[in-house]
Amino acid sequence: MSTRTTDADAESIDARPGTASVAVAVAAALVTVLVSATTPLAGAVGLCGLVVVPIGVRRGSRVLHRIGSAGLFGAVLLAGVAGSSPVPMLVAAGAAVVAWDAGEHGIGLGRQLGHAAVSTRAQLAHVGVTVAVASVVAVVGYVVYDAASTGQPTTAIVLLLGAALLFTYALDR
């Protein structure tokens, strides 16, 4: 028995992402739409994103997935411009990032491992880290927003942001 892989074997791999990737991306996209649908326009744009994201992830199409993700981010921006409060917008933005990242990671896993591979654990671990990072960013964003709205000097806010960036850089090393 030969262990060589032929071109026919390589082409027969189903490179679509697993079901867990689609489910996580859809769940996060749904959270984005539910939280950001404060105006009819934001709701419509978000709904378009919610429809396109799972199609893109299921087909393994980065282009469709990114178009759907852009719709989710557009819904968050439209809701923010309409005057939504910061906490729901931070939640919606974080969920949009999770939907985008889960889809991109799922598409990558599908291309590398194939549809038949058991990748649920890897996908959920990746999403867990993404949610943790998005939560930290949201908390820092809210602290900066709160500090800016309470009349803190601009210099203090700039130093706070600079310290956060340096801390992030130090963690990366």
Long-range CB pairs of 83-89 (<8 Å, 24+ gap) are 84/36, 84/38, 86/141, 86/142, 86/145, 87/142, 88/35, 88/36, 88/38, 89/35, 89/36
pTM of this prediction? 0.80
User: What is the Cα–Cα distance from 131 to 79, expressed in whole angstroms?
Assistant: 21
pLDDT digits (tens, 9 = 90+) for 88-127: 999 999 999 999 999 999 998 888 877 777 778 888 998 9
- 89: which DSSP letter? H
Tell how many helices (H) and how many strands (E) occur in the chain: 7, 0
pLDDT digits (tens, 9 = 90+) for 25-57: 999 999 999 999 999 999 999 999 999 999 999
